[in-house]
Amino acid sequence: MTNVSIFEATVEHFLAPIMSYMRDPDISEIMVNAPDEIYIERQGRVEKTDARFDDEEALLAAVKNVLQYTGKQVSQQQPLVDSRLPDGSRVHVILRPLCRTSTVMCIRKFAKTLLDADRLLELGSWTPEMMGYLRVCVQGAKNILLAGGTSSGKTSLLNVLSGFVPDDQRVVVIEDSAELDFQKPHVLSLESRPPDRWGRGEVTIRELFRSALRLRPDRVIIGEVRGGEALDVIQAMTSGHAGSMTTLHATGGLDALNRLETLAMMSTVELPLHALRAQIASAIDVLVQVTRFPDGRRMVTGSSEVLPLGDDGKYRIQEIFRYEPPAAGGEDRLTWTGQKSLFADQASIRKLREHWGQAGFVFGGEM
Ligand SMILES: Nc1ncnc2c1ncn2[C@@H]1O[C@H](COP(=O)(O)OP(=O)(O)O)[C@@H](O)[C@H]1O
Ligand SMILES: [Mg+2]
């Protein structure tokens, strides 16, 4: 038997109680809180299931056996384990007593069919105007920061936006675990590596990013910034590496900039706050907000452009598209604020006139 088929047999055996969820493409997440308390996320909604493991021993055996095939071990010395299964799914395990009540396992399944731009329109996740606007921003090599909460659709949107990068450009992608999958001719995809169980061999996003800059990229796309690499990313964006895109965990607008600032301060390089803010304000051109609603729907809920730092040393942004909650009986909407884009008069954006599409008015065209 090949390694993969041995792995499949192992999974089949030890994960029998949740196997049907592993196979169901509508299910994106399987959350085992305890042997008899298992939740799933189906099309964005979290539901409790009747599935159960016989007892805690069976759950622990499942966890240990499955992890063994990923080269990871879980024990009282290593009670928190994050790993990736051969099919691309992420698994996270926490042993008792770190979770007081049980061994806990959460499996985030690898979504095989990522959404595309048209599918986002069908789902009502954005409008043709918003799509047109962001397409021009990507083609015009603006630096874009996508912000949203957990599972709000940041990675999916990044994937769609990456699809707008012109085909003749060389793109380097950096991720913690390869999720992005856009069909472009010239892409290098790099993946960071956690330390092994002796703490050796770690390769961070930050190291990969520094490498990436030496690979003559036209664009660098970073799956998510969550640490000191934020400063490197900001500095690269301000020093000629235009058209970069990344995501971060934050609500939109100013909060995203503040969060980026906090991450940049995790870097070992000390920079006066005012200087850091000025760099952030000049690095980031466009902020995009994505939101996951309680009913499981995901939506692009706004976008702003970043202005130079104010005289008071504070960030300033200009909203371009804004989310409007449903009026009585109506639907929620994403609407243009009436603000013209700050880039409207730039030659690179005017050159893209034929691509403005339904977003022309944002760049000063006719409504
Ligand atoms: N616009 C959308 N409409 C419906 N489902 C979506 C949408 N965007 C993402 N999803 C689904 O939501 C889940 C989380 O998406 P992901 O992009 O990984 O979010 P994040 O990166 O914010 O954690 C995935 O299962 C994905 O298929
Ligand atoms: Mg993500």
| Domain interval for residue 282 | 117-363
151 lines ligand 1 (CB under 6 A): yes
> For atom 12 of ligand 1, which residue has the closest CA?
153
Taking the centre of ligand 1 as the mean of its atom positions, its distance from the CA of residue 17, in whole angstroms, is 26
The CATH number linked to 312 is: 3.40.50.300
SS (H, E, C) the chain: CCHHHHHHHHHHHHCHHHHHHHHCCCEEEEEEEECCEEEEEECCEEEECCCCCCCHHHHHHHHHHHHHCCCCCCCCCCCEEEEECCCCCEEEEECCCCCCCCCEEEEECCCCCCCCHHHHHHCCCCCHHHHHHHHHHHHCCCCEEEEECCCCCHHHHHHHHHCCCCCCCCEEEEECCCCCCCCCCCEEEEECECCCCCCCCCECHHHHHHHHHCCCCCEEEECCCCCCHHHHHHHHHHCCCCCCEEEEECCCCHHHHHHHHHHHCCCCCCCCHHHHHHHHHHHCCEEEEEEECCCCCEEEEEEEEEECCCCCCCCEEEEEEEEECCCCCCCCEEEECCCCCCCCCCHHHHCCHHHCHHHHHHHCCCC
Q: Is 121 in the pocket of ligand 1 (CB under 6 A)?
A: no
Give the ligand at the shortest distance from the Cα of 42. 1
Best mutation site among 130, 182, 298, 334 for ligand 1 pocket (most ligand atoms within 8 Å of CB): 298
Shared domain check, 103 and 124 = no
Residue 254 CB partners (closer than 8 Å, separation 6+): 315, 317
Nearest CA to ligand 1 atom 4: 298
Determine the distance separating the centroid of ligand 2 and the alpha carbon of 190, expressed in angstroms: 16
Could you report the per-residue pLDDT of 96-149, keeping only the tens digit for each? 999 999 999 999 987 666 789 999 999 999 999 999 999 999 999 999 999 999
pLDDT band at 252 (very low <50, low <70, confident <90, very high): confident
Domain boundary among 108, 136, 166: 108
Nearest ligand to residue 156 Cα: 1
Q: What is the pLDDT of residues 291-320, one digit of tens each?
A: 999 888 999 999 999 999 999 999 999 999
Closest CA relative to residue 345, chosen from 362, 320, 359: 362
**pTM score > 0.85 for this model?**
no
Distance 329 CA to ligand 1 centre (A): 27
Ligand of minimum distance to the alpha carbon of 148: 1
Same domain, 328 and 212: yes
CATH of the domain at 46: 3.30.450.90
If asked whether residues 282 and 163 sit together in one domain, one would say yes
- The CB of 152 under 6 Å from ligand 1? The reply is yes
Q: Is the pLDDT of residue 35 over 80?
A: yes
One domain, residues 23 and 145 = no
Average pLDDT, the chain: 91
Q: Which of 90, 108, 126 is the last residue of a domain?
A: 108
Please give the pLDDT value at position 2.
61
Q: Give yes or no: residues 351 and 260 share one domain.
A: yes
Is residue 279 located within the same domain as residue 160? Answer: yes
Task: Specify whether 92 is located in the same domain as 233.
Answer: no
Q: Which residue has a Cα nearest atom 13 of ligand 1? A: 151
Statement to judge: residues 62 and 130 lie in one domain: no
201 shares a domain with 92: no
How many structural domains does the chain have? 2
Q: What is the pLDDT of residue 81?
A: 92
Ligand 2 center to 319 CA (angstroms)? 24
Q: Are residues 89 and 156 in the same domain?
A: no
The answer to whether residues 171 and 82 belong to one domain is no
**Is 111 close to ligand 1, i.e. is its CB under 6 Å away?**
yes
Q: Which of 26, 31, 41, 156 to mutate to test the pocket of ligand 1 (most atoms within 8 A of CB)?
A: 156
Q: Which ligand is the nearest neighbour of the Cα of 178?
A: 2
Query: pLDDT by residue (tens digit) across 339-350?
Result: 999 999 999 999
Looking at 108, 132, 166, the residue that finishes a domain is 108
Q: 168 and 69, same structural domain?
A: no
**CA 249 to ligand 2 centroid distance, Å:** 9
